[in-house]
Amino acid sequence: MSVAGQASAPAGPVLQVEGLSVRFGGHLAVGDVSLSVHPGRISGLIGPNGAGKTTTFNAICGVTPPTAGRVLLDGEDVSRLGTHQRARRGIGRTFQRLEVFSSLSVADNVRVGLEIRASWSRRRRPAPQYLAAAAGLDPERIDSDAEVALIIERLGLARVADVPVGSLPTGQARKVELGRALAARPRVLLLDEPASGLDDLETHEFGGMLGDLASAGLGILLVEHDVALVMRVCADLSVLNFGQLIASGTPEEVQSNRAVLDAYRGGGDDVAAAAAATAAGVHLDPGQPGVGS
């Protein structure tokens, strides 16, 4: 089901996670997880609630210190760097629990992303191809109103550009987070449930936009509960359960993976297991319709 049309993957992965573990006291939130994200490709990270997806994100971008493991960006070990230093090397992200600048307007949220980048980026990174170079963006100009306007327009936020983000509904606020992250021109983008709060039509459009971003060379790691979206856009999937990586491969492989099926069947709570299985794109019971598909 995965979509062709994403650029053929260049040589190496942009982001590699090797043997990552995060322990909170006695609780192993993430155990020995390895995965990689390639430029021009969307990788999915799925699993039931509490499986450790957001913790993995936090460890990758340096918000939560990992207990063990390495994070490599373009082959460089960034595990010892702070959050802002990793961001400067090109890791961008959005948040499951919204982290918008709620007292600033939509345009200013994106502009802050741009301005923060301008404050540290002395040497300019290659221009962002992912937002349509055809729109006439000058890659050499770091701080430009045009870029803000373009990002807002591409995300369909032009109508609310001057509205404080605090008064927007969740779906739009998530788009603002995405726009802000894009303004910092990341090389790899971690998206934490970006489509929750969007309706079916918006989700469809959103999937198309993610495809566009990827085909322009951005590497994307996507955490998402919307199965249809994940199956449509992701080139490969990793499945987490109780902090362990239980499967990875193409969506088709994962869908028919015994380990995934067993893991979800093993859950004591039928409803939760069904929901989780649905999230992973697994149909336990022919009578159980998949959500969002």
Q: Give the number of C-alpha atoms closer than 13 A to the C-alpha of residue 5, restricted to the C-beta side.
A: 13
Binding mask 120-159 for other proteins (x = CB under 8 A): xx--------------------------------------
**How far apart (Å, rounded) are the C-alpha atoms in residues 273 and 183?**
38
Contact stretch for other proteins (CB under 8 A) within 2-10, 103-111, 130-138, 231-239: 103-111
Binder of other proteins out of 37, 95, 130, 157 (CB under 8 A): 95
Q: Give the number of C-alpha atoms closer than 13 A to the C-alpha of residue 177, restricted to the C-beta side.
A: 26
User: Is the CB of residue 22 less than 8 Å from the CB of residue 52?
Assistant: yes
The pair phi, psi for residue 278, each rounded to 5°, is -60, -40
Q: How far is the CB of 134 from other proteins (least distance, A)?
A: 26
Under rule CB under 8 A, residue 102 binds other proteins: yes
Under rule CB under 8 A, residue 100 binds other proteins: yes
Binder of other proteins out of 14, 73, 78, 91 (CB under 8 A): 91
Tokens 């902090």 belong to 243
Measured from the CB atom, is 38 or 174 closer to other proteins?
174
Contact stretch for other proteins (CB under 8 A) within 177-185, 214-222, 231-239, 257-265: 177-185
- Pick left, alpha or beta for residue 109 (phi over 0 → left; psi -120 to 50 → alpha; otherwise beta): alpha
Contact stretch for other proteins (CB under 8 A) within 100-108, 130-138, 242-250, 254-262: 100-108
Alpha helix ranges (H) inside 20-161: 53-61, 83-89, 106-120, 145-154
Binder of other proteins out of 101, 149, 153, 284 (CB under 8 A): 101
Q: What letter would DSSP give residue 87? A: H
Binder of other proteins out of 5, 19, 166, 289 (CB under 8 A): 166
Q: How far is the CB of 7 from other proteins (least distance, A)?
A: 25
**How far apart (Å, rounded) are the C-alpha atoms in residues 2 and 245?**
21
Contact stretch for other proteins (CB under 8 A) within 5-13, 35-43, 148-156, 176-184: 176-184
Q: Which of 72, 97, 100 is nearest to 86 (CA)?
A: 72
